[in-house]
Amino acid sequence: MTDPVVAAARRWLGTPYVHQASVAGSGSDCLGLIRGVWRELHGYEPEAPPAYTSDWAECGSAEVLLAAATRHLLPVDPATSLHPGQVLLFRMRQGAIAKHLGILSEAGDAARFVHAYTCHGVIESPLTPPWRTRIVARFRFP
């Protein structure tokens, strides 16, 4: 049986990448995907996101995305194994703030995740070692 979060995320596959958008089939970025899945599961979003840049290498001290995820999602103990449906938060380079999100769609040796990727749209990608090393935190939808 497919996890309901994974099923919801996969319905977004093929959605074009559009910065700050969150409309399945029309346009989405990585946060927009999470927002859309939230709406499917819970209805209205708990807060409107502030404007943000698309720069994954953005430096700064304010971990805005991590703070918002902590406010609205349930943290997963980093010592536990990966499970489908978990929200993954990535830091794309050392010294940058965490600014990329995805939803784990498959766990184990062939782990995969759904995310919105610049120039590719919403896709399902292998969770390769380079991606795994960039995971900052994991969460579950309430």
Structural domains of the chain ordered from first start: 4-140 (3.90.1720.10)
In whole angstroms, give the CA distance from residue 68 to residue 104.
Answer: 19
Helix/strand/coil for 10? helix
pLDDT recorded at residue 56:
66
* Span 96-137, pLDDT tens digits: 999 999 999 999 999 999 999 999 999 999 999 999 999 999
**What is the arrangement of strands in the sheet containing 121-126, beginning at the earlier edge strand?**
74-75, 135-140, 87-90, 100-106, 112-117, 121-126
Total-model pTM? 0.95
**Which residues, including other chains, have CB under 8 Å from residue 77's CB and lie 6 or more apart?**
none
